């Protein structure tokens, strides 16, 4: 619901959803989050700094 609330605000930004990893994983990419840019449906939203595409094992630990 928070993603829908953020998207409904309008603007020129894309809403991306992510979950916090529980362990290193080479099968998924990572969103590096930046500064908080608001709270939507009680959930803080952050700007995405960059996306790391499926890192090798050494880059996940």
State the pTM of this model: 0.65
Contact of 26 with 54, CB cutoff 8 Å: yes
2-58 tens-digit pLDDT: 777 777 776 777 888 888 888 878 888 888 889 998 888 888 888 889 988 887 777
Q: How many of the other CB atoms lie within 10 Å of CB of 6?
A: 21
User: What is the four-CA torsion angle of 28, 18, 12, 45, rounded to 10 degrees?
Assistant: -150
* Residue 15 near residue 5 (C-beta atoms within 8 A): no
Count structural domains, the chain.
1
Domain that holds residue 54: 2-60
């Amino acid at each position: 619901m928070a993603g829908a609330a953020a998207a409904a605000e309008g603007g020129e930004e894309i809403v991306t959803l992510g979950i916090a990893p529980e362990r290193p994983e080479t099968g998924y990419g990572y969103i590096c989050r930046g500064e908080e840019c608001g709270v939507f449906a009680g959930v803080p939203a952050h700007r995405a700094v960059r996306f790391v595409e499926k890192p090798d094992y050494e880059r996940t630990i």
